[in-house]
A and B are shown apart, each in its own frame.
Chain A
Amino acid sequence: MCDTCGCGDHDLVPIEIHQSLLAQNDRIAGHNREHFTEHGVLALNIMGSPGSGKTALLEATARSPLGGRRILAVSGDLATDHDAQRLSAAGIESRAITTGTACHLDAKLVHEALHQMEWWRADLLFIENVGNLVCPAIYDLGQAANVVVLSVTEGEDKPLKYPVMFRKADLVVVSKIDLLPHLPHVSCSRLHDALARTMPAPRVLEVSAVTGQGIEEWIAWLEAARARLSAPSRAGHHQPHSHGRE
């Protein structure tokens, strides 16, 4: 009761908080990132619409000279393990993360999937996110970089419609570039202009997983990203550990 004037009102207690709603995810993502850095694993969060060609890009990577590196993948979908099967067939050891109704991967789902693999032996870990240009953008998974795959058939204004996804991208791979001759109304210059209005420092590669066009530049980007990883200590095995309050 209000003790001040005896009016009978209940007391209102204000509490100032300023707490991020993503704090718990970001804590687990930080834990994942620590592991990747410690073991010199380049982890990439591969995002894009359903059907944009994420899996095809990874298959083409496995066929490239980079296939000599040890590549692992975790692959998120609402249902089926089709993508993980495709990647395994291409020579990329893969685990499916079946999210059920969830429209994105989060750091905890990735962490749980990693417990099923010897991820620390990888040079490169692809985290293939659920096909979606909205929800995956805000969830840090512990990756070194975000790669967004955008196919030429999706429309040049996609970056303007989904600005958060493209703002967070370190690299945009414009895929299915071999289809351009069949798409007279699609303009790559309009696409690049849209990217410049959503990405502060746009880095864009044009790629065809079918013809191999641009794959060499993609591999060079991957190798440069690997070289930027801080001096890895690859000795020893990943140790079992606890995760605090998870």
Chain B
Amino acid sequence: MHEYSLVLSLLEHVAAQAAAHPGASVRRVEVRIGEQAGVVVEQFATAFELARRDTVAAEAELVLERVPARWACPGCAREIPSGDRLACPDCGDPAHLVAGDELYLMRLELEVT
């Protein structure tokens, strides 16, 4: 379950950002996860519940934005539905993954007292 090590990396980034605001607590953590990122969203959320304890994000809400995979021909830009053979029916070019491999910490909200 590599989701746990990804969450630890997430919490390191969060702590580094929060450190610039002494006394602040993290209210919201927004993460973008693509369908082809190789991450099980439910396991990521469970790992976050466990790992956030005793961190600056202990009270934070985790908001996960899921991005569907989108494939297209790099030559003619024709969209190729997921599950189809990944070559352009017109040009024969190998399809390109346009979206869906994202794995990003996007945004935080800190509460400053």
Contacts and interface: CB of A to CB of B under 8 A. Distances in A.
Interface string A136-150: 011100000000000
Contacts of B111: 10-13
B95 A200 contact: yes
A196 B95 CA distance: 11
Given A12-B27, A15-B107, A18-B104, A196 B85 contact: yes
Interface residues of B, number: 37
B110 A13 contact: yes
B65 to A, nearest CB: 12
B38 A18 contact: no
A14 interface: yes
Given A17-B106, A196-B86, A200-B86, A137 B38 contact: yes
The main secondary structure of chain A at its interface with chain B is mixed
Interface in A175-217: 193, 196-201
Contact of A197 (B17, B27, B37, B86): B86
Given A10-B111, A14-B109, A24-B9, A196 B87 contact: yes
Given A200-B96, A201-B94, A12 B110 contact: yes
Interface in B48-78: 71
B17 to A, nearest CB: 6
A166 B38 CA distance: 11
A103 B39 CA distance: 13
The main secondary structure of chain B at its interface with chain A is mixed
A14 B106 CA distance: 11
B95 to A, nearest CB: 5
Contacts of A16: 106-107
Nearest to A138: B38
B34 to A, nearest CB: 10
Nearest to A9: B111
Contacts of B31: 21
Contacts of A19: 13, 104-105
B9 A15 contact: no
A220 interface: no
A197 B24 contact: no
Given A17-B106, A19-B104, A196-B86, A104 B96 contact: no
Given A18-B104, A164-B38, A167-B97, 16 more contacts: A10-B112, A12-B110, A13-B21, A14-B108, A15-B107, A15-B108, A15-B109, A17-B13, A17-B17, A21-B13, A103-B2, A137-B38, A138-B37, A163-B36, A197-B84, A200-B87
Interface of A: 1, 10-22, 24, 102-104, 134-135, 137-139, 163-165, 167, 193, 196-201
Interface of B: 1-2, 5-6, 9-10, 13, 17, 21, 24, 27, 31, 36-39, 71, 83-87, 94-97, 103-113
18 contacts: A10-B113, A12-B112, A15-B107, A16-B107, A19-B13, A21-B104, A102-B2, A103-B2, A134-B2, A138-B37, A138-B38, A164-B36, A164-B38, A197-B84, A199-B86, A200-B96, A201-B87, A201-B94
